Amino acid sequence: MKKYFLPILIALSALSISAAAAYYSVTGLAKLFAGVETAVIWMASSLEVAKLVVASLLYQYWKELNKLLKTYLIIALVTLMIITSAGIYGYLSSGYQDVANKTGVVDKEIALVDNRIKTQESSKEFTLEQLKQTQQSIAQLRGALGNNNQTYKDKDGNILTTTSSANRKSYEKQLEFALNGEKTLNDKISILDSTLLVLSEEKLAKESNAELAGELGPLKYIAKLTGTAMDKIINWFLMIIIFVFDPLAISLVIAANFAFTQLKKPEQLAIYDEKPVEPVVVELQPTPPPAPPTPTKSWYNYVPPVFKRKKEDDDTIITY
């Protein structure tokens, strides 16, 4: 089983990435052609399956296919990869756009709160300036009341000090009015402080929106760090994803075909810790030396036959 583990793992990885790419692509194309959504889903699904089949076909029968068919299949495969990548881009960009729209609404709400805060702060500054002037007037009136004395000399040359009741009443009325104005301004400042506190809490709640912070927090941080608009950053990420997603799926399909093909080769058995087939050794017997040639008869070693006569039942037997 060890030798099948890696090929099966490659095949499962290829199928999972291909399935994810197909889902994103089909969903993105369905959103693009919302009027015929069902037809687009069937068409895009069949094209996604055909893409994987074409990739396997080109690898398995590369040498057997003629040039014309091979060229067409390559062009069709590349075109289907582009269509899939476009569908993935549309799906992911649509998801980002939904979050970006929410963020845009929240940003506008935060801007409105900022304007209200600025208005309240301006009103507070103006009120503080009025309070300062009123307090100065109160100090002057109190000083005038303390110095409401008039000195003059009588006919005998004596210096007399008197107070003007009319001036005193006028100063007291002005002082009372100034004190009431001071109290009103202090109450107004307290109300403005309370309003600013509520607006600041509202702004903080909108800025720390947990859902949006989790979805766009890293992108906002990168945008602030690089000084680049968030739309450009998300576009770069989407381009990187689509250039890796579908080509990786096709590459893994081809790799799975290659891995299963290698299982059939006996020289690959050693990779999976199996014993290779031992060669059969045939022991060859040594060839015996050739026998010496048989001597031939010649005239100088000719031996004449010996004739013997034997009498047996009147039969004559001649032997050599």
- 91-102 pLDDT, tens digit per residue, is 888 877 777 777
Please report the DSSP string for 239-286 in residue order: HHHHHHHHHHHHHHHHHHHHHHHHTT-GGGGGGGTPPPPPPPP-PPPP
Joined tokens for residue 135: 């307090």
Q: How many CB atoms lie within 10 A of CB 135?
A: 14
Q: What's the rounded Cα separation, in Å, for the pair 310 and 320? A: 13
pLDDT tens, position by position, 186-225: 998 899 899 889 988 888 887 776 555 556 666 677 777 7
Q: Give the per-residue pLDDT at 68.
A: 92
Q: Give the per-residue pLDDT at 284.
A: 57
Q: What's the rounded Cα separation, in Å, for the pair 212 and 209? A: 6
Q: What is the pLDDT along the chain (320 residues), one digit of tens a residue?
A: 667 788 888 888 888 888 888 888 888 888 777 778 788 888 888 888 888 889 888 888 888 888 899 899 999 999 988 888 888 888 888 877 777 777 777 778 888 888 989 998 999 899 899 888 888 888 887 777 666 555 555 556 555 455 556 667 777 788 788 888 888 989 988 998 998 899 888 888 877 765 555 566 666 777 777 777 777 888 888 888 888 888 888 888 888 888 888 877 655 444 445 555 555 555 556 666 666 665 555 444 555 555 455 545 445 444 44
| Dihedral over Cα of 219, 221, 223, 225: its sign | negative
Contact 112, 53 (CB under 8 A): no
Alpha helices in the chain (DSSP H): 2-32, 37-60, 67-146, 165-207, 210-226, 230-262
Residues in Cβ contact with 18 at an 8 Å cutoff, skipping those fewer than 6 apart: 48, 52, 249, 252, 253
Best CA proximity match to 18, nearest among 57, 45, 58: 45
Q: How far, in Å, are 21, 24, 128, 294 from residue 142 at the CA level?
A: 84, 81, 21, 165
Please, which residues bridge with residue 159 across strands?
153
Residues in Cβ contact with 128 at an 8 Å cutoff, skipping those fewer than 6 apart: 189
User: What burial class does residue 315 get, using C-beta atoms within 10 Å of its C-beta: 0-12 exposed, 13-18 middle, 19+ buried?
Assistant: exposed
Contact 88, 242 (CB under 8 A): yes
Q: What's the rounded Cα separation, in Å, for the pair 38 and 204? A: 45
Contact 83, 250 (CB under 8 A): no
Query: What's the full length of the chain, in residues?
Result: 320
Contact 83, 24 (CB under 8 A): no
Phi, psi of 151 (to 5 degrees): -115, 140
Q: What 3-state class would DSSP assign to 153?
A: strand
Contact 44, 29 (CB under 8 A): yes
